[in-house]
């Protein structure tokens, strides 16, 4: 039996950094990544036979836990029918109908294969529909690795960003403005200067790529007002929050807090694929009809609407739509974060926590951060020690302080209690 270290060494010979997505390499926390051999329910098992309580959930999709019987059955039946056809299937229609029934802001939806693909397609659609070039994103929000989105904030208010990745030429981000999350002054300044040229504003309504940071209600209210006034499209990136924080996603939460609130376009992924490569973007028919083949905005994908992936996603949506599902999931998540906060308090350690639905975050700080700069000012070394303390005790958290965590329906009260006991020991060590 190969050890995790041996597998990692082998992987580094044939895969850049030994991983196929950077955060898996444990660079942020140090140590050796765990190579997973199997999973069931709320648990992962690594190559050395160790079992972990899983709070990554494949970075969000596994809201039902691993290997839910109804999902497995749907996938097995789909596999027997065929892996891929390159032609339409009825199941694509069924999944689209299921998504639209849950998200009132959308009248049509286009299925794709990844969150990156969905986000970059939504931006292209926004530019095509408005005839404008510029877009706003917020520091700390991640929308995939498309060139125009791999950008950091420039200096001063409402300035254009600079590439954060080699291989992205400056002209690829020349139309991208990067603002501070929850900063109303920067938002006002950006629209005052560039409003007539803005195609869209893309935002994670609850940013899961700087741990767990909510857009404040005043900030979101003003953002909606400014987009409407200036004719820019408001694009909600719900790849992480969609069907994870609630049955209508984060836009359902803001819709209850802000009268009449709706985004113009929405981007979904993760949960809608149930763990398979599947994502989507959608909005009102008048905007979506700009897409080919009915309109001039080109977008295509050989595996879009894959029959196995749509079977997995459709089965997942059916399960989470059952009455009481999110009430139970939310209660389970709250019990986890409240328990973690209590364990920290016993040890005299500051811990700020937040959660919504099956998504949560915690910070080694006295108050919840409101933007990326505040997140990065929290104690990274203390987080790294806590991460390894939990991992050594069989609890698998995200291996970076800027990633959200996820609870599934498969986590039991005993799993939560074991996690809190592990935290108590890790805080005390």
Q: What is the DSSP string of 30-52?
A: -S-PPPEEEEEBTEEEETTS-EE
In terms of DSSP H, where are the helices of 280-366?
A: 285-288, 307-320, 325-346
Confidence of residue 159 (pLDDT cuts 50, 70, 90): very low
Q: Residue 145's pLDDT band (boundaries 50, 70, 90)?
A: very high
Q: How far apart are CA 31 and CA 29, in angstroms?
A: 7
Residue 143 phi, psi (nearest 5): -125, 25
The pair phi, psi for residue 98, each rounded to 5°, is -65, -40
Closest to 336 measured CA to CA, from 267, 253, 422, 261: 422
- Mean pLDDT on 224-244: 98
Between CA 392 and CA 17 the distance in angstroms is 23
Ordered by start, the domain boundaries in the chain are: 4-67+323-428, 69-320
CATH of domain 69-320: 3.40.640.10
Mean pLDDT of 80-90: 96
What span, in angstroms and rounded, lies between the C-alpha atoms of 368 and 257? 20
pLDDT tens digits, residue range 161-176? 678 889 988 888 899 9
- Among 232, 234, 227, 236, which residue's Cα sits nearest to residue 204? 236
| Separation CA 75–CA 269 (nearest Å) | 18
Instruction: Report the range of poorest mean pLDDT among 83-87, 127-131, 150-154, 199-203.
Output: 150-154
Does 158 score more than 60 pLDDT? no
pTM here is 0.96
Residue 339: which of 366, 360, 325 has the closest Cα? 360
Is the predicted pLDDT of residue 404 greater than 70, yes or no?
Answer: yes
Class of domain 4-67+323-428: alpha beta
Q: What integer is the mean pLDDT of 402-427?
A: 97
Please give the pLDDT value at position 81: 97
Asked if pLDDT for residue 115 goes beyond 80, the answer is yes
Strands (DSSP E) contained in 84-146 are 108-112, 134-138
Q: Rounded mean pLDDT of the chain? A: 96
Cis peptide bond upstream of 293, omega within 30: yes
What are 235-253's pLDDT values in tens digits? 999 999 999 999 999 999 9
Measuring CA to CA, how many Å separate 340 from each of 35, 335, 412? 26, 9, 16
pLDDT of residue 157: 40
Q: Enumerate the β-bridge partners of residue 41.
A: 66
Query: Over 90: is that where the pLDDT of 193 sits?
Result: yes
Going 128 to 175 to 233 to 405, the CA torsion angle's sign is positive
pLDDT at 162: 72
Helix (H) or strand (E) holding 378: none
Q: Identify the band that residue 309 occupies on the pLDDT scale cut at 50, 70 and 90.
A: very high
DSSP assignment, residue 56? S
Angstrom CA distances, 341 to 16, 338, 350, 376, 391, stand at: 38, 5, 8, 20, 18
The residue with greater pLDDT, 411 or 155, is 411
Give the per-residue pLDDT at 263. Answer: 98
Q: What is the pLDDT of residue 1?
A: 86
Q: Report the catalytic residues.
A: 142, 237, 270
What integer is the mean pLDDT of 214-232?
A: 98
Predicted pLDDT of residue 37 = 98
pLDDT band at 342 (very low <50, low <70, confident <90, very high): very high
* Average confidence (pLDDT) over 68-83: 98
Q: What is the chain's alpha carbon radius of gyration, rounded to the nearest angstrom?
A: 21
Residue 154 is predicted with a pLDDT of: 54
**pLDDT tens by residue, 265-293:** 999 999 999 999 999 999 999 999 999 99
* Over residues 314-325, mean pLDDT: 98
């Amino acid at each position: 039996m190969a050890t995790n270290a041996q597998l990692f060494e082998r992987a580094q010979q044939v895969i850049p950094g030994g991983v196929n997505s950077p955060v898996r390499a444990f660079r942020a926390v140090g140590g050796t990544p765990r190579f997973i051999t199997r999973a069931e329910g709320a648990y992962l098992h690594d190559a050395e036979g160790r079992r972990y309580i899983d709070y990554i959930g494949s970075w969000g999709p596994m809201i039902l836990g691993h290997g839910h019987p109804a999902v497995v059955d749907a996938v097995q039946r789909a596999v027997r029918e065929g892996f891929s056809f390159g032609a339409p299937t009825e199941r694509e229609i069924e999944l689209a109908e299921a998504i639209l029934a849950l998200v009132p802001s959308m009248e049509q939806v286009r299925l794709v294969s990844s969150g990156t693909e969905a986000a970059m397609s939504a931006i292209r659609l926004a530019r095509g529909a408005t005839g404008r070039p510029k877009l706003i994103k917020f520091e700390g929000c991640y929308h995939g690795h498309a060139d125009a989105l791999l950008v950091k904030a420039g200096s001063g208010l409402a300035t254009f960003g600079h590439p954060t990745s080699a291989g992205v030429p400056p002209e690829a981000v020349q139309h991208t403005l990067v603002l501070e999350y929850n900063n109303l002054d920067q938002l006002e300044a950006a629209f005052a200067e560039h409003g007539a040229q803005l195609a869209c504003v893309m935002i994670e309504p609850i940013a899961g790529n700087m741990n767990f940071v909510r857009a404040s209600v005043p900030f979101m209210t003003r953002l909606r007002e400014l987009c409407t006034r200036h004719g820019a499209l408001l694009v909600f990136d719900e790849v992480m929050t969609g069907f994870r924080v609630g049955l209508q996603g984060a836009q359902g939460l803001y819709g209850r807090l802000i009268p009449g609130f709706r985004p113009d376009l929405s981007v979904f992924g993760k949960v809608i694929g149930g763990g398979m490569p599947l994502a989507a973007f959608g909005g009102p028919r008048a905007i979506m009809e700009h897409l080919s083949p009915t309109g001039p905005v080109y977008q295509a994908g050989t595996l879009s609407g894959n029959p196995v992936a749509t079977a997995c996603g459709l089965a997942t949506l059916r399960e989470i739509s059952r009455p009481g599902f999110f009430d139970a999931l939310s209660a389970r998540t709250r019990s986890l974060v409240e328990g973690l906060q209590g364990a920290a308090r016993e040890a005299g350690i500051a811990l700020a926590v937040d959660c919504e639905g099956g998504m949560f975050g915690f910070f080694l700080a006295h108050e919840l951060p409101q933007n990326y700069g505040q997140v990065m000012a929290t104690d990274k070394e203390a987080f790294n020690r806590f991460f390894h303390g939990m991992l050594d005790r069989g609890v698998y958290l995200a291996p970076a302080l800027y990633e959200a965590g996820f609870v599934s329906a498969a986590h039991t009260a005993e799993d939560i209690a074991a996690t809190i006991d592990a935290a108590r020991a890790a805080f005390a060590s």
